[in-house]
Amino acid sequence: MYFGPVGKDSQELVKYFEEQGAPMEKTANPAEAMLDIIGAGSQKRVGPRDWADVYLDSKLYQENLKEIEAIKEHALANPRDEGKVLEYATPYMYQLKQVFWRTAVSSWRQPDYQFTRLFQHAAIALITGLLFLQLGNSVQTLQYRVFSLFMVAVLPALILAQIEPFYIMARGTFMREDSSKMYRGTVFAGAQILAEVPYSIACALVYFLLFYFTAGFQTGSDRAGYFFAMLLLVEFFATSLGQLVAAVNPSIYLASVWNPFIIIIFSLFCGVTIPKPQIITFWRSWMYWLNPVTYVISGLITNELEGLDIRCEASEFVTFQPPNQQTCAQWAGEFLSRSTGYLANPEATSDCGYCQYRYGSDFFGNLDIAFSERGRNIGVVVAFIAFNMVATLIAARFLRFANR
């Protein structure tokens, strides 16, 4: 029907049809108007002749024939070196740049996808922060601090459910363009990974601001900074894991089947729902260490509780009576030298009050986690993220799943 330049605002296309006796209205969409003119739209064809025949009799067709002959002559005069035949017409980085930009624009034009994710983070952070509003330093609030940190482990469940459909639907476009050798599978996967980075940062920042200071956690730059860094890595990990699950499954349904299993593993074997010493030996020997959430939670717990002064409420003290008019410190001194905690009234001779914890580190001392391992925990989570990304790229390179 037409083969030539479209022009800015379809001016060249409009001009061609006007010259052939089929003008378009100024307010019409050129693409829809063109379809109506040739009879491929919702209206009857304009004119008595088939528009393919009109094109064959046009000046534009003759110009195209001349250009084809010129291209042939140039090709014959400058034969290509057949020694090196490229699989793709453009370099790898050019492909990545173009596909990434298109993916970023596509994501931006689907606000429901990213806004839902952002809203969920804000809602969970705000509700959790208000529920554990300005936690104190009592023994009971130690457990509350751990529970509030455990909510970070819930985030991957939400992210997986959103990332997988988006990735698989985008793969439908890639499958069409891959058959034309437009760009590599690794370019598609890499663009999907990069396009999620700004939204992961935004979600982590919103969660951090709404939760951390509301709950009354330690405000030192090293403590708050570590929390935000680990939270950001959780976002990257969940995103990369969701893309990996989607990359190795042919449909949204099959990808979603994996999610309950993954989330249960994350929740049960991270050392919070079941403390590490109480996990059955078989699971503790390998599943506990293979769980990435283990390193997230242990890092966050030690980061928050290390150096935290504990002050028991009146109801939390264990009261005892020392014999022979001894002071509380005299009677319990040897016990305190081998145990954690402190005495509320060490010089008293009756109604001695014992608090089982003096510092937050006393609380996690028996859980086989340490403040000194914070850096290691960060490194392990980064390693999990790298594994997910590499595996996603490999799956995109070698697996060719069509949407079903």
Asked if pLDDT for residue 183 goes beyond 60, the answer is yes
Tell me what pLDDT residue 81 has.
66
Asked if pLDDT for residue 403 goes beyond 60, the answer is no
Asked if pLDDT for residue 401 goes beyond 70, the answer is no
State the chain's mean pLDDT as an integer. Answer: 91
pLDDT, mean of residues 54-61: 93
Tell me what pLDDT residue 398 has.
84
CA–CA separation, 136 vs 144, rounded Å?
10
Contact 401, 246 (CB under 8 A): no
Least confident span in 9-23, 74-88, 199-213: 74-88
Each residue of 228-280: pLDDT tens digit? 999 999 999 999 999 999 999 988 999 999 999 999 999 999 988 888 888 99
**Which tokens belong to 317?**
């003290």
319 sits in which H/E element: strand 318-320
3-state class (DSSP) for residue 250 = coil
Tell me what pLDDT residue 178 has.
83
**Which tokens belong to 341?**
């905690």
Asked if pLDDT for residue 404 goes beyond 50, the answer is no
Tell me what pLDDT residue 95 has.
94
Nearest partner of 332 among 316, 315, 310, 355, judged by Cα: 355
Tell me what pLDDT residue 212 has.
95
Cα within 13 Å of Cα(265), Cβ side: 13
Q: Specify the residue for token string 């860094």.
A: 229
Each residue of 364-396: pLDDT tens digit? 887 889 999 999 999 999 999 999 999 999 999
Contact 291, 199 (CB under 8 A): no
CA–CA separation, 186 vs 335, rounded Å?
62
Each residue of 347-365: pLDDT tens digit? 998 899 999 999 999 988 8
Tell me what pLDDT residue 223 has.
94
Contact 187, 99 (CB under 8 A): yes
pLDDT, mean of residues 93-102: 95
pLDDT, mean of residues 336-346: 89
Each residue of 2-51: pLDDT tens digit? 999 999 989 999 999 999 999 998 888 999 999 999 988 777 888 889 99
Task: Calculate what percentage of the chain has a pLDDT beyond 90.
Answer: 67
**Which tokens belong to 238?**
């969940």
